[in-house]
A and B are shown apart, each in its own frame.
Chain A
Amino acid sequence: MSANATTPDVIAAKAPRAGVGGRAGRLLRGALRTRRGQIGLLLTLVVVGIAFLGPLFAGNPTALHGGPFEAPGGQAGALGGDSLGRSVLDRVLDGGWRILLISAAATAMAIVLGSVAGVVAAYRGGFADTVIMRTVDVLLGIPSLVFVLMLLSVVGSHAWLVIVGVGLTQAPQVARVLRAAAQDVSERDYVKAVAAWGVPPRTVIRRHVIPSLLTPLMVECALRLSFSIILVASLSFLGLGTQPPTADWGVMINENRVGLAQNVWGVLAPAILLATLAVGTNMFSDAIARANLSSGPAGDPTLQMALSASNVAEGDEPVGLEAIDEGSQ
């Protein structure tokens, strides 16, 4: 920082750069300070670890090891055999990474598409807004799962199509949230103040609006990932995602549920992993949203204002508010 040259060291030492990266980090750290955030991240990391490291330890997931639904501990390994006599353990270890990669790609697509559409709709207004929001409405008019199923049923099951389909169903939500947030921010006095200097709209958006959208964007990322994982796994379960005989947690649950009474692990193991992953990502997104509530400067402007406005009002709450909220979780 060149500013150091002209200012005393004392100040430079405690100067936090308020860049976007810095605030994202602060928000994440805030989330990790909550119990919910810690548990959420832990659960997510455990499942992600199993999904990506699993293949290194897995035997051949399509090899046959005896009769169907063999009890655990036999030829088929610690978790027994599946509907065709393959090792449940090997298939569980190999069956997660595709879901994760596909979900991550779909989430990325949804976030990029949705946030661009949302911000453009908020800023262009008028015709662009109408077109974008109509499209959003239309896409929301078909349930996500049904929409992707419809695409897959005709074109056939391809990973890229799952990504595009899931991305398309998640993008409208992102667009809605970001459009609302951008509109909200642009109504604030500090944005108007900049407009009163004659600063061009493009600069206003880049310097003042986009940084304020960071919080909703991060919450959306985690939330959309969570939904994408569910959708992708559901598609596999219905037989339209990953195709047999490739190992996949969703596929496994479907294949092995007829043998629940003989070997419960063929269903239970992938179900537990999927459940843990979904709960983990969801808890983490919840923790980010909450971190925003309690964090000071990095926080969402809306909430900051609500909190500080009570300071101006003649009521004597400020005391209560802060004292109380700091204590909780």
Chain B
Amino acid sequence: MTSRTFAAAVALAGVMAPTLALADEVVAADADADADDGAADAQIWEDEPAPLDPELDEAYPQRSHFAFRAQASGGVRALYDTVVGAAELEASFGADTKRGSFSGALRFLAGRTDGGLGVQQFTVGPSFAWNVGPVTIGPKVRIGYLWIDRVTSDDVMDAMSLGVAAAFDLELYKNEGVTVALTSELVADALLPFFEVFDEQPAAGLYGASLGLQFRLRAPKAPRASHAASR
């Protein structure tokens, strides 16, 4: 498992560069870019062989594929009557299957309250996604830890967070297992005191929404015919 994850991360790094180059080319197709470079790039992509795995862009591949997702977004949260503005980063690893996408997600949020206090949160949890045309929808469940800086001491206000999110993604670009999507989420977290329950601190709700960009990678699979048979 670990070696697979590591291999996928290395593969991701290798795939990122040509992916970004391709995205650039699509966007700049009608622009008067540098003629020599443009021609060279176009030649490279025209000469690419057909995809090894025809299921890379299928909404529901018949065989399970390793999938990686990364997203960056900005959002707002309401905590009591305090508004929090935040930036969020999320990475998830899992599988795209014929029944949908299932993954485990790691997420970090950093932001500020409207008064200027720093807010941080990290969460982990399963995430699910199903395609409906170019739209992907799915619930996420999260458990994590949230802390808010204090100015009156070096201590923090902290809580365990248990929450759910509903994600709605719109695919902007999709080719050979690489997808770029606009992603939005509605989020609800319960902030719970933990361990020091005798302090009678109440539970609180953290609600909000986020909007950002998501990058998805579906790793190709070897053809069904085994190498042994072809040797």
Whether both chains belong to one complex is answered with no
